[in-house]
Chains A and B, each alone.
Chain A
Amino acid sequence: MDRTLRTRLAAKLADRLTGPIRQRHDQTEIRIRPADLIEVMRVLHDDPELEFVILADLAGVDTGDTMQVVYHLWSNKTPDWLRVIAEGLPRGDPRAPSLTGLWPGAEWMEREAYDMLGIVFEGNRDLRRIYMPPDYKSFPLRKDFYLPDDSARGPGGGVRHVEEPYAPLAATTRSIRRTVKA
């Protein structure tokens, strides 16, 4: 845990954070609104005291109620990984700004998040499906996507609050009906 990173982040981004800065093990976590994403990332990338130059990961997350885009960054100025969570994307129409202006390498990761979860990254010039066939309509990593051949389900199955293991029909039709203009 890098305490100084916490103070640096609080000083630079105080008005942009939507929650407290959390630290655990070797990770520091900040939460922001998706609308502030580009500005926050520019500060993190360009500020000489932060210099998060490497985008280690971009992950889409469906929490069941809302969607998130989670970024992991690395900098030489801190021993911690920085996790930036852009939270509160509505599940009906999840949209986030694209980071391809800052890290062109985010393009495929954003395509993947679109393909798997249906998150639309505005500004990504190639937001096509990347794994699934082009005529595929559903988003497999969404939590209402039912896994028909679910033999791996362990004793914890059915416990979770967001996945409905016994309502496949409603769940699948809901996700198939969704269309997103890419």
Chain B
Amino acid sequence: MTAPVQPHYPHPSADDPRIMLDAQIGQYEQVPPYPPRTEREAEFYTLGDGEMFLNMGPQHPSTHGVLRVVLKINGEKVVDLDPVLGYLHRGVEKLCENSDYHHIISQIDPLEYVSSLFMEWAPVMAFEKLMDVQVPRRAEYIRVLTGELLRIASHALFQGWMALDLGGLTPILYSFIERDEIVEMLAAVTGQRMLFNYFRIGGVNGDLNHEFMSRLGDWMSRAAVQHEANIGLLNENEIFVRRMRDIGRVDRDTALRMGVTGPNIRAAGIPFDVRRAHPYSVYPELEFNVPVRGSNGGGDSLDRYLLRLDEVRESIRIIDQCLHEMPDGPVMARLPRLMRPRPGRAWAAVESPRGLFGTYVISDGTDQPFRFRIHDPSFVHLQLVGMLMKDNLIADTMAVMASLDPVMGGIDK
């Protein structure tokens, strides 16, 4: 008989503060309680009288991706919460720093899968600034046209998600009909339904074709009517409205200090829209309003929801103008295949359906960027949830979080 094999893992000692999760494999628990690292963590993970922790996620259907939220609750009231990110982290910035300038467009596409054309738009604009590229006007119009179509698709999906999170099952089906029509339309011109990979440095990949134009004409003839019908589904639903009203109010000063952008800041009463605040592409030539909602006290969840519906109307106006004013000409600038921009720095920002989406690029003269920074609006907006949820009910977490319209793909990069 041989002697039993001794396990080689270390035994937990009495003074080790961590909890042994599985003594057989020597795995430690990776969640608190471990010694707190920061002031805020110490404050959050200390329970008061009658309080308890509740883990929501990472597989919760209403978190729009893979997000874990640690709620500190007292009965049904949320006292505080701590979002835990990183479940979807792919290191897109590092990947982009190791890809050449053309390759980045396809690397960054799946970053935020709901509005991926905007994810292409910002880096492409930054590279064009870096290389002093003049984009043909037809290409700019095509970018605006496809971008606004995708904005409508994204907002339509938001409307459905919002209702789904509050327990309404029907609107998401109508949202997907709306979105599917647009996505099929874009698939006709880009070849892809979701990750379009369509914008190029100096233009777009391919001109508009007959199938796209016929689908678009078909859709445009009923887009406005269809939009009003979709609005009617929810806006007069008393349960929906009363669950959204006076929940998650953001005032103007908070919105500015928290770095909120996009529909969320406009719903708080500040008309900040990158398309007007810092015009890019051909937006200065187009007529559209920047819808603003919210009273003196700021905007609540309902304001944020209604503002996105207002934006769809404006997007339909922009598409209409694009179709009428679209010039003829090439859709790509003449550029070399291998790009080595001179050393320099460039920042470009676009108004994505979620807010200011920006990229900061540093070139060192090689064909890959030295530093590629992605700023995603959802990332900033998710910080608000902790602030807005205090003293609300657990069920309202969803009404607040969904109204901020975060997409975890963008948040986790």
Contact = CB atoms under 8 A, between A and B. Distances in A.
B39 A126 contact: yes
A76 to B, nearest CB: 8
B38 interface: yes
B1 interface: no
Given A147-B98, A153-B98, A128 B37 contact: yes
B275 interface: no
A150 B98 contact: yes
Contacts of B91: 140
Contacts of A57: 347, 349, 358, 360, 373, 375
B379 interface: yes
A119 interface: no
Max chain A Cβ within 10 angstroms of own Cβ: one of B259, B340, B345, B412:
B259
A34 to B, nearest CB: 18
A134 B86 CA distance: 11
Interface in A133-147: 133-135, 140-141, 145, 147
A160 B364 contact: yes
A27 B346 contact: yes
B38 A127 contact: yes
Interface string A67-105: 000101010100101010000000000000000001111
Given A59-B360, A134-B37, A105 B380 contact: yes
Nearest to B340: A156
Secondary structure call for the B interface:
mixed
Contacts of B347: 27, 57, 72, 81, 83
B383 A105 contact: yes
B85 to A, nearest CB: 6
Nearest to A70: B360
Interface stretch (A11-19, A48-56, A167-175): A48-56
B41 A133 contact: no
B257 A81 contact: no
Contacts of A76: 277
A105 B257 contact: yes
B368 A125 contact: no
Max chain A Cβ within 10 angstroms of own Cβ: one of B34, B89, B380:
B380
B44 to A, nearest CB: 9
Nearest to A115: B86
A81 B368 contact: no
Contact of B367 (A29, A109, A147, A154): A154
A46 to B, nearest CB: 13
Interface in B209-265: 256-261
B89 A105 contact: no
B33 interface: no
Given A54-B256, A105-B380, A156-B368, A26 B278 contact: yes
Contact of A134 (B30, B94, B103, B371): B30
A182 interface: yes
Contacts of A116: 93
A154 B37 contact: no
B8 interface: no
Nearest to A59: B373
Contact of B256 (A53, A129, A130, A132): A53
Contacts of A162: 370
Given A57-B347, A108-B380, A131-B413, 9 more contacts: A81-B349, A103-B257, A104-B258, A150-B98, A152-B103, A154-B368, A156-B366, A160-B364, A182-B38
30 contacts: A24-B129, A27-B129, A27-B347, A53-B256, A55-B259, A56-B375, A59-B360, A70-B360, A72-B347, A83-B347, A103-B259, A104-B257, A108-B379, A109-B380, A125-B40, A126-B40, A128-B38, A130-B85, A131-B85, A131-B89, A132-B89, A134-B30, A134-B34, A141-B93, A141-B97, A154-B99, A154-B103, A155-B367, A157-B368, A161-B364
Interface of B: 30, 34, 37-41, 85-86, 89, 91, 93-95, 97-100, 103, 129, 256-261, 272, 277-278, 338, 340, 344-347, 349, 356, 358, 360, 362, 364, 366-368, 370-371, 373, 375, 379-380, 382-383, 412-413
Interface of A: 24-27, 29, 53-57, 59, 61-62, 70, 72, 74, 76, 79, 81, 83, 102-109, 112, 116, 125-135, 140-141, 145, 147, 150, 152-157, 159-162, 182
